[in-house]
Amino acid sequence: MKKVFPILAALALVLSACQMGGQAQPTAMALPTAFPTNTPAPVNATAEVVNGGDAGQTRVSQADGMQQAYVPEGTFRMGGLDPAASSDEQPTHSVTMKAFWIDKLEVTNAMFMLCVQAGVCDPPQSFKSETRDSYFNNPEFNDYPVVYVTWQQADAYCTWAGRRLPTEAEWERAARGNDFRTYPWGDDAPDSSRGNFNYYAGNDTARVGSFPAGASPFGVLDLAGNVAEWVHDFYDGNYYAQNVTMNPPGPGARSAYFQRVVRGGTFQDAFVDIRLSNRASVRGSNVNASDKYSEDYLGEFSPKIGFRCASD
């Protein structure tokens, strides 16, 4: 799992990608009609900053064509509100968040390729997916979530795109909205129309945006299943007990401890693990390690982990 592709293979990928289409201008992906609580406004073709916008309003990033949804300032209840809640989801607490934008979709192979072509991002640690030998470098899966990326690679991509990884609180706010729902779509039992989980769509990733019935109150898609998503925060199972009530930044780093939070569950996860309050930890990158290709520097990566970005 942790074998890194040689540099020559990475260069070959970049060259072949350039031959296939060069630096094509990104365009917004066409999405199926979603069913959010607040109907999104028409897409803004620029990525100009919009303050005081409507919940679910969208704009398009000029860097990669990603649609972003607007999440307004507000207070929500963070943590596990259902009987299946784990101890690290407790205690529940009220959190007030400033407004922000968050990607409507998980970052795709084609989007990540743009960053690789720009010479900013390293290619994923494997070009495969869970069951496909050819995935990242296969145009058939351009609109599928990029996987086998480390926390540092996700962070570097978001920076290149003019965004950043969301905080854990932003991720949960985007999924929950203003009520006490258990899943991004509400409290209805999960089924195959809501997302790619419990092996409903097979044993691998699905095209991003394929489950509009699973949209959050702000129209954000794929927050339950498909791939788990890196967020910015370090992981601390007792962090909620600190009761940070304004824009929680997450706990600070601790020496030799680089566990990061991942959110959202995967294509294989059962219902208990796709609840929007569920938390998981994965070893993140240690960018201070001397060897860029060492396990210490890279941290963990998986065919079940991708990411999305956010911005102020």
Q: How confident is the model at residue 25 (pLDDT cuts 50, 70, 90)?
A: low
Judged against a pLDDT cut of 90, whether residue 17 lies above it is answered with no
Please give the average per-residue pLDDT across 66-89, as a whole number.
97
Two tokens, residue 245: 């009530």
Reading the block at residue 166, the tokens are: 């969301």
Task: Note whether 117 and 21 are within 8 A (CB).
Answer: no
Average pLDDT over residues 189-203: 95
Domain parsing of the chain, residue ranges = 1-312
Q: How many CB atoms lie within 10 A of CB 128?
A: 17
Q: Which residues, 6+ apart, have CB-to-CB distance to 21 below 8 Å?
A: none
Both structure tokens of 151: 């926390």
Query: What residues are paired with 281 via a beta bridge?
Result: 261
Q: Model confidence over 241-299: pLDDT tens digits?
A: 999 999 999 998 776 689 999 999 999 999 999 999 999 999 999 989 999 899 999 99
Greatest pairwise CA separation for the chain in angstroms: 53
Instruction: Find the mean pLDDT for residues 162-179.
Output: 98
Query: How many helices and strands, by DSSP H and E, does the chain display?
Result: 5, 10
pLDDT tier for residue 55 given thresholds of 50, 70 and 90:
confident
C-beta separation of 197 from 190 below 8 A: yes
For residues 1-14, give the mean pLDDT: 39
Q: Which CATH class is domain 1-312?
A: alpha beta
Give the whole-angstrom CA distance, residue 236 versus residue 40: 34
Tell me the pLDDT tens digit for each residue of 203-236. Answer: 999 999 999 999 999 999 999 999 999 999 999 9
The per-residue pLDDT for range 28-53, each reduced to its tens digit, is 665 544 333 322 223 223 344 444 47
